[in-house]
Chain A
């Protein structure tokens, strides 16, 4: 049963953004950098949730092994304006398929280990013409934490919204990536 009235289901605006970075040097030559980046609060609409729950590929569609069950905390209208506790098992398919758009809103919080880099400064006193040689390995987005309910998409990816200011709408876009790499920097 859906209300005909429009309701405010949430905002994409976060409660706060937070980042934390550190850099330290070991034995004067090895440098370690780490950067954490996070956002708390806000919701986003997940097109991936809509699509994958529709076609039955999402992990959320195997609740109760796809057997009919009584939806927890569900009620039925008693016909006279009140509600009574629901006792009728529902076909899981029918339940998932008939959810209002609001159920596709997910918590947009995240915390990511944005950067982790270790580099080594090779001694260059006997190596003209090099002034500095640095070799290093790095990883971007090595680790991430998202809200438990979000098993669908990166809340950071805005879909079309990223470009057109219609923010917080994820439209089954290409997933974001983590990268691992090595680098060499020469100064002379």
Chain B
């Protein structure tokens, strides 16, 4: 027992000497003078570090043997700073690390893609505008995994429906919420019809699809050329900020804006395109449409219409188009 106690005491003493340390404090700023909130300050070779606070200030317990601090911040060059004798150490980071894969989080912060733990995907302006598109949502087609983007029709300004991760609700809308620079925009469709209004002289029945008019939805209003990046957030972890409205996923659209230190940049994009309807139903060209109720061929049994090239209609035939 006594032996054990001695050993423990000895161990503590050894630990005590090796853990001799001092506290280093300082402020982390960018070379543009801005204090950096949440910069990572780590001790090289030791698994310990801290983050700078809201004023860019940090305090770090440094063991005596440590010689270098590694300071990093998104958008700045990671820097190694040697620890001198002084306990005060202000750090200035150089800008310039290009953000190759950044993600705009739900709270509007820019983060490295690898720092974000939830499912997300970002499409940048260049990929989005690879060909001229009429709306951001159509431009996203085929560029984000697991996203179904369907149009109500091929008509100009038709509604676009965006579903992330498949249909999840039978009774509620499955359309993703669109957030433009932090402002939620409903992608619900302004549609009319299917009710009882009169169109072409006939009053629609409830749920009548024939009388439906699609006025489009607001997701189509965004000019793709104004968009800097589109981040698609899937799953509840990513969309918590938007509560139940983000239940079907969120499409975060960040528009282009100037940055401090940027030079004036003008870009002109002009395009001309011709459109052609495709994937039409294949119609037969052999026979006329409608059907004939032919008196001479078995009473009221209707028959298809005759060949277009036939010289004359059967005299007893009544041709009437259906539906």
A-contacting 9-mer, from B63-71, B83-91, B235-243, B285-293 = B285-293
Q: How far is the CB of B220 from chain A (nearest CB, A)?
A: 12
B148 and A186 form a contact (CB under 8 A): no
Query: In the docked arrangement, what's the CA distance between A39 and B274, Å?
Result: 26
* A129-188 at interface with B (beta carbon < 8 Å): 138-141, 144, 146, 151-154, 156-165, 167, 169, 171, 173-188
A61 and B175 form a contact (CB under 8 A): no
A140 and B131 form a contact (CB under 8 A): yes
Query: In the docked arrangement, what's the CA distance between A138 and B132, Å?
Result: 8
Q: How far is the CB of B191 from chain A (nearest CB, A)?
A: 5
Query: In the docked arrangement, what's the CA distance between A37 and B132, Å?
Result: 17
Nearest neighbor of B172 in chain A, beta-carbon distance: A165
Query: In the docked arrangement, what's the CA distance between A57 and B290, Å?
Result: 8
Contact A185-B131, Cβ < 8 Å, known A171-B210, A179-B275? no
Chain B contacts for A158, CB-based, 8 A: 150-152, 161
A76 contacts chain B at the CB level, 8 A cutoff: no
A178 and B276 form a contact (CB under 8 A): yes
* B119-133 at interface with A (beta carbon < 8 Å): 130-133
A30 contacts chain B at the CB level, 8 A cutoff: no
B279 and A144 form a contact (CB under 8 A): yes
B202 contacts chain A at the CB level, 8 A cutoff: no
The number of residue pairs between A and B whose CB atoms lie closer than 8 Å in the complex comes to: 220
Contact A188-B266, Cβ < 8 Å, known A52-B283, A174-B154? yes
Query: In the docked arrangement, what's the CA distance between A138 and B270, Å?
Result: 13
Chain A contacts for B269, CB-based, 8 A: 183-186
Nearest neighbor of A129 in chain B, beta-carbon distance: B266
* A12-36 at interface with B (beta carbon < 8 Å): 12-14, 17, 19, 21, 23, 33, 35-36
Nearest neighbor of B159 in chain A, beta-carbon distance: A163
Query: In the docked arrangement, what's the CA distance between A181 and B272, Å?
Result: 5
A154 and B279 form a contact (CB under 8 A): yes
B274 and A55 form a contact (CB under 8 A): no
Interface size range of chain B in the complex = 35 or more
Nearest neighbor of A182 in chain B, beta-carbon distance: B272
* A105-151 at interface with B (beta carbon < 8 Å): 114-115, 117, 138-141, 144, 146, 151
B150 and A175 form a contact (CB under 8 A): no
A62 and B175 form a contact (CB under 8 A): no
* B153-198 at interface with A (beta carbon < 8 Å): 153-155, 158-161, 166-167, 173-175, 189, 191, 194
Chain A contacts for B23, CB-based, 8 A: none
Q: How far is the CB of A44 from chain B (nearest CB, A)?
A: 10
Q: How far is the CB of B135 from chain A (nearest CB, A)?
A: 13
Q: How far is the CB of B86 from chain A (nearest CB, A)?
A: 46
Contact A165-B174, Cβ < 8 Å, known A19-B142, A35-B143, A160-B194? yes
Q: How many residues of A are counted as interface, with CB atoms below 8 angstroms from the partner's CB atoms?
A: 73
Contact A171-B212, Cβ < 8 Å, known A21-B142, A58-B281, A163-B189? yes
B273 contacts chain A at the CB level, 8 A cutoff: yes
Q: How far is the CB of A113 from chain B (nearest CB, A)?
A: 10
Query: In the docked arrangement, what's the CA distance between A145 and B25, Å?
Result: 65
A114 and B142 form a contact (CB under 8 A): yes
* B256-311 at interface with A (beta carbon < 8 Å): 265-284, 286-291, 301-305
A176 and B279 form a contact (CB under 8 A): yes
A178 and B275 form a contact (CB under 8 A): yes
A184 and B273 form a contact (CB under 8 A): no
Query: In the docked arrangement, what's the CA distance between A17 and B142, Å?
Result: 9
Kindly identify which residue among A154, A169, A174 contacts B158, using a CB–CB cutoff of 8 Å: A174
B141 contacts chain A at the CB level, 8 A cutoff: yes
B266 and A187 form a contact (CB under 8 A): yes
Chain A interface (Cβ within 8 Å of chain B)?
A: 12-14, 17, 19, 21, 23, 33, 35-37, 39, 47-49, 51-52, 54-59, 61-62, 66, 91-94, 97, 114-115, 117, 138-141, 144, 146, 151-154, 156-165, 167, 169, 171, 173-188
Chain B interface (Cβ within 8 Å of chain A)?
A: 130-133, 141-143, 145-148, 150-155, 158-161, 166-167, 173-175, 189, 191, 194, 209-210, 212, 214, 217, 265-284, 286-291, 301-305, 321-323
Pairs A–B under 8 Å by Cβ, sample size 8: A55-B289, A66-B304, A94-B302, A146-B279, A157-B151, A160-B212, A164-B191, A176-B154
